[in-house]
Amino acid sequence: MVGPAVAQEAAAQAQPQPGPEEAVGGTVPGAALGTTSDADFWRQIRRGVSGVSQQTHQAGGRLIQSSGDNWRAVRNGPVSRYGVWLLIGAVALLAVFFALRGRIRIEHGPAGTTIERFAPIERVAHWLTAGSFVILAITGLNLLYGRYVLPPVIGKEAFAAITLAGKWAHNWVAFAFMVGLVMIFVLWVVHNIPSRVDLKWFAQGGGLFSKGVHPPARKFNGGQKIVFWATILGGASLSLSGWALLDPFTTTMFADTFAALNLVGFSLPTDLSPMDEQQLAQIWHTVVALVMIGIILAHIYIGSIGMEGAFAAMGSGQVDLNWAREHHSLWVDEVLEKERDRQHGHAQPAE
Ligand code: HEM
């Protein structure tokens, strides 16, 4: 985009540089660019050519960068607008689902006996990820939308104080989220490898849409595997782009990613300036966060009011045996078989 201007600048710099005393009408003030005319000089500034200014900031010595205007228009325009529709759409869909299907009950009624679903370490990992995600989501949404909603209600001063605290929390809580993410990946990845059982689960809509339908599942069903991989991949992408925003002008993630994508047929720009990198990181971070919040709203719904007996899995770690048989029959068989083997193994030495 700036190629010709850069070439022009390089050519200008190759010229013998007149000293300030030799500067005549039409040459650049201070003669920094040799015989470049005033018009060319200002044009280069307007085009955002790096190095025109003497300042050596990491952003690359640009005085004007028009892509900043485009970035702001995209952030405050389509990204914010479609983000609102996405979140309202997710809540509306869940409300319609609740109105039509109601709370999914344990059809055979509670058995009264329980089975351990998640060990304490798994629950710590889940709540670390979940708690930090909720804080990040609320403080992040405030950064995007707060200014439109809160100042008229609580006043500018209070909004400024809340947003400053929220920004600080957002920066630091991000690390707790990353730790939680690594923990749930390590603990659950083996249970989330896609399998043929998932196809059958999806074919029956997971039994979510009709009573009396309970497709078999192991520890995690097909829908949960989607939530798992969305959390891991979306979370990793949020972490990386968030890192780029926390430590500005130090990464070339987008240029590197675009170069890799170009190898498989894309033709994306790879001569990105440090400022372009920041702007892309901000847009990507926001889009991924909004999509993830939409998915997690559905997850929170089904893990709490949407399904009788589900919350206990992450609350006490113990679930009702009938709930487990209805939603994770193959997993129950595996656990009971292991339990039998264990008892058998313990009993053997005594025999
Ligand atoms: C804040 C409210 C939340 C509630 C009430 C909640 C509830 C639950 C429950 C009950 C389970 C176990 C389901 C089962 O036994 O089969 C679960 C699993 C899980 N949760 Fe959450 N959760 C919440 C937030 C989150 C957040 C924010 C994330 C990620 C950013 C998350 C990621 C996961 C993952 C990956 C699983 C395993 C896969 C799955 O069950 O879908 N949860 N959650």
The two tokens of residue 244 are 């780029």
Domain hosting residue 325, numbered range: 68-118+193-350
Does residue 138 lie within any of the structural domains?
no
Nearest CA to ligand 1 atom 7: 303
With a 6 Å cutoff on the Cβ, whether 311 touches ligand 1 is yes
Per-residue pLDDT tens listing for the chain (351 residues): 334 444 444 444 444 444 444 445 555 555 555 666 778 778 877 877 766 666 656 666 677 778 889 999 999 999 999 999 999 999 999 999 999 999 999 999 999 999 999 999 999 999 999 999 999 999 999 999 999 999 999 999 999 999 999 999 999 999 999 999 999 999 999 999 999 999 999 999 999 999 999 999 999 999 999 999 999 999 999 999 999 999 999 999 999 999 999 999 999 999 898 889 999 999 999 999 999 999 999 999 999 999 999 999 999 999 999 999 999 999 999 999 999 999 888 655 544
Asked whether the beta carbons of 308 and 104 are under 8 A apart, the reply is yes
Residues 199 and 60 in one domain: no
Does residue 95 lie within any of the structural domains?
yes
Asked whether the beta carbons of 244 and 274 are under 8 A apart, the reply is no
Q: For ligand 1, what atom is nearest to the CA of residue 311?
A: 10
With a 6 Å cutoff on the Cβ, whether 218 touches ligand 1 is no
Nearest CA to ligand 1 atom 24: 130
With a 6 Å cutoff on the Cβ, whether 117 touches ligand 1 is yes
Whole-number Å distance between alpha carbons of 65 and 37: 21
With a 6 Å cutoff on the Cβ, whether 302 touches ligand 1 is no
Among 166, 176, 185, smallest CA distance to 128 is for 176
pLDDT at 327: 97
- Report CA(272)–ligand 1 centroid distance (Å): 38
With a 6 Å cutoff on the Cβ, whether 304 touches ligand 1 is yes
The two tokens of residue 187 are 């603990």
No. of helices (H) and no. of strands (E), the chain: 15, 2
Q: Which run of H or of E encompasses 320? A: strand 318-320
Does residue 168 lie within any of the structural domains?
no
- Report CA(120)–ligand 1 centroid distance (Å): 14
Nearest CA to ligand 1 atom 8: 303
pLDDT at 47: 77
Residues 60 and 204 in one domain: no
Q: Where residue 295 sits, what CATH number does that domain have?
A: 1.20.950.20
Q: For ligand 1, what atom is nearest to the CA of residue 228?
A: 35
Among 23, 250, 289, 307, smallest CA distance to 133 is for 289
Residues 17 and 114 in one domain: no
Q: For ligand 1, what atom is nearest to the CA of residue 235?
A: 30
- Report CA(342)–ligand 1 centroid distance (Å): 29
Asked whether the beta carbons of 290 and 86 are under 8 A apart, the reply is yes
Residues 266 and 320 in one domain: yes
Residues 46 and 72 in one domain: no
Which long-range contacts does 186-195 make (Cβ < 8 Å, 24+ apart)?
A: 187/121, 187/122, 187/125, 188/122, 188/220, 188/228, 189/232, 191/218, 191/219, 191/220, 192/220, 192/224, 192/225, 192/228, 192/229, 194/222, 194/225
Q: Which residue has the tokens 């900043």?
A: 68
Does residue 211 lie within any of the structural domains?
yes
Does residue 156 lie within any of the structural domains?
no
Find the angle CA(225)-CA(229)-CA(232) to the nearest 5 degrees: 140
Q: For ligand 1, what atom is nearest to the CA of residue 304?
A: 5
Does residue 183 lie within any of the structural domains?
no
230 CB-near residues (< 8 Å, 6+ apart):
292, 295
Find the angle CA(163)-CA(130)-CA(203) to the nearest 5 degrees: 125
Residues 223 and 310 in one domain: yes
With a 6 Å cutoff on the Cβ, whether 299 touches ligand 1 is yes
- Report CA(299)–ligand 1 centroid distance (Å): 6
Residues 209 and 273 in one domain: yes
Does residue 246 lie within any of the structural domains?
yes
Residue where a domain terminates, one of 27, 47, 64: 64
Asked whether the beta carbons of 36 and 51 are under 8 A apart, the reply is no
- Report CA(215)–ligand 1 centroid distance (Å): 20
220 CB-near residues (< 8 Å, 6+ apart):
188, 191, 192, 228
Residues 268 and 292 in one domain: yes
Residues 2 and 107 in one domain: no
Q: For ligand 1, what atom is nearest to the CA of residue 315?
A: 10
Residues 272 and 333 in one domain: yes
Q: Which residue has the tokens 């894309």?
A: 266
Residue where a domain terminates, one of 64, 93, 109: 64
With a 6 Å cutoff on the Cβ, whether 133 touches ligand 1 is yes
With a 6 Å cutoff on the Cβ, whether 227 touches ligand 1 is yes
End-to-end alpha carbon distance in the chain: 82
Whole-number Å distance between alpha carbons of 342 and 265: 54
Number of domains in the chain: 2
Residues 254 and 320 in one domain: yes
Residues 215 and 272 in one domain: yes
Does residue 164 lie within any of the structural domains?
no
Q: For ligand 1, what atom is nearest to the CA of residue 184?
A: 35
Whole-number Å distance between alpha carbons of 206 and 214: 7
